[in-house]
Chains A and B, each alone.
Chain A
Amino acid sequence: MLAGALDAVDPRGQLERLRALVVAACAADRSLLALFRALERQDPIALTDLALGPRAPAGPRLVQAALAVLDTLELQLSPGSLYRRLVVLAGGDTSTILDQAALRHPAAGWLVALSDAAQEPQPGLAQLRAAAAHPAFVQACWEHAAVGHHAGLVAAARATGRPEPAAALLAHGAVEPAQAAAALLLEEHPETPVAAYLAAVWGPDLDHFWLGVVHRLHSRAAVQRVAACCGDSPRSGAIIQAVLRGLRSER
């Protein structure tokens, strides 16, 4: 049966037998893929019980097989509940679950809580990467910023090259993370119009903000981009010139 030969089996009638098989396979670190694929065709309800039910055995083998039949499982259970359950069952590495959830539902609000539940190293990054070209990207940035997913937003700015993660951070008062995100954009994505988005959330006088960015930069080109963002205050000009002199003497 583990190889998927279920022709003579009534899955719901022999659910306990199948459950014992699943538990034994997990304990022996054997693949459940063939069994789950056969159940997917024959009895999706039994599959859902075995894969996600309260007596499903936790572990990577079960999660790996469940991820292979997501199309069917999502028809049986709401996606938010499904992925939360998979995270619980995974125990350790949840990155594949988060990636799959984000790829399949990039606009879902429940991904914000899921990234915490899955203890994503940079919470929010999986969703924001997956949603980078989706209309819900901006909303997702604001939702992650609202719950303090600063590291994920900084990483998302770098990974996507989009200005909204930095803007969302600043809009929620996370000034230093916003400066870190802006610095990464200036260094690695010079075409990104980050200054416009930051001014739109913060207000027109950003010199103080930019002076906190300039010390994070490593290239003269990026510092010169900050100079273009700053106003014409003598203090800003003097600080930027000092940083440029420092970079000139170092390189």
Chain B
Amino acid sequence: MGLAPRCLLLGAPGRYPFNGHLRLAVQCGSAHLHLAAAVNTRRDPPAALEAAAVLRAKLAGIDGRDRFGLLRSAWELLAELDCDLLGPDRGEDLALLMVAWDGQGLGVAGTGLEVLYELGDLTTPLLDGAHPLLCIRGVPSTAPGVFTPHRPPLVVVGAAASGALDPSTKPSWELACGLHPGGAS
């Protein structure tokens, strides 16, 4: 695979579209995982940032030998996370999108997502409707399945359930996801 696949989460409508957002990249040998998430988004920015930092620190421990191992590790870490540390909402508003890949292919998993797009393509979503990957926000009680796109996209964009910006209202998809020129990925 050439350029590294990654994922982004669309911001929410309103004054603080990226409240509680975080991104993380993990590499274990030849296996990689990239994630984008939003948590504690209904609280004020300091509380949301604190919850995002807790989640980020926990998920920084993701480990695995291949893409399935990385995704499984992420769910296991989430399951053992003390949700009280995520603030009074206890992670009930969590939206999480993960893309994991290795020499054999790419897998997409997540929670609290409504639609998945390939960056720049609003008309033909990668995933919408009743796919089991798409579910309400929150820490799932059991590990969700893995979606394997027929044609691996370079950048998967997630729209969180009940509240995501319409990317066509912004100058670019990247800005709708809080990604700026010169900024990190």
Q: Which residues of B contact A204 (CB under 8 A)?
A: 18, 21-23, 52, 178
A82 CB to closest chain B CB, in angstroms?
A: 31
Contacting B at CB under 8 A, from A185-224, are 193, 195-197, 199-209
Bound-complex Cα distance A200 to B50 (A): 12
Q: Which residues of B contact A195 (CB under 8 A)?
A: 49
Asked if B48 and A196 make an inter-chain contact with CB atoms under 8 angstroms apart, the answer reads yes
B175 CB to closest chain A CB, in angstroms?
A: 9
In the complex, B162 has a CB within 8 A of chain A: no
Partner of B49, one of A167, A196, A209: A196
Residue from A163, A195, A202, A204 having most chain B Cβ neighbours under 10 A = A204
Contacting A at CB under 8 A, from B2-20, are 11, 15-20
In the complex, A138 has a CB within 8 A of chain B: yes
In the complex, B177 has a CB within 8 A of chain A: yes
Bound-complex Cα distance A207 to B182 (A): 9
Partner of B15, one of A138, A196, A231: A138
In the complex, A15 has a CB within 8 A of chain B: no
Bound-complex Cα distance A167 to B18 (A): 12
In the complex, A14 has a CB within 8 A of chain B: no
Determine chain B's interface SS by DSSP, over half rule: loop
Q: A193-B45, A196-B46 are in contact. Are A201 and B18 (CB under 8 A)?
A: yes
Q: Which residues of A contact B21 (CB under 8 A)?
A: 199, 203-204
Bound-complex Cα distance A206 to B52 (A): 14
In the complex, A142 has a CB within 8 A of chain B: yes
Bound-complex Cα distance A209 to B178 (A): 13
Bound-complex Cα distance A202 to B19 (A): 9
B10 CB to closest chain A CB, in angstroms?
A: 11
B172 CB to closest chain A CB, in angstroms?
A: 12
Q: A200-B18, A201-B15 are in contact. Are A208 and B46 (CB under 8 A)?
A: no
In the complex, B183 has a CB within 8 A of chain A: yes
Asked if A203 and B183 make an inter-chain contact with CB atoms under 8 angstroms apart, the answer reads yes
Q: Which residues of B contact A208 (CB under 8 A)?
A: 180, 182-184
In the complex, B179 has a CB within 8 A of chain A: yes
Q: Quick one: closest A residue to B49, CB to CB? A: A196
Q: Which residues of B contact A167 (CB under 8 A)?
A: 16
Q: Which residues of B contact A78 (CB under 8 A)?
A: none
Asked if A203 and B49 make an inter-chain contact with CB atoms under 8 angstroms apart, the answer reads no
Q: Which residues of B contact A233 (CB under 8 A)?
A: 184
A213 CB to closest chain B CB, in angstroms?
A: 14
Bound-complex Cα distance A231 to B183 (A): 11
In the complex, A171 has a CB within 8 A of chain B: yes
Supply 8 A–B pairs (Cβ within 8 Å), ascending by A.
A142-B15, A196-B50, A199-B21, A199-B49, A200-B19, A203-B180, A204-B22, A208-B184
Further contacts, 4 of them, CB under 8 A, given A195-B49, A197-B16, A201-B15: A142-B15, A171-B15, A201-B16, A207-B184
By a beta-carbon cutoff of 8 Å, the part of chain B in contact with chain A is 11, 15-23, 44-46, 48-50, 52, 177-180, 182-185
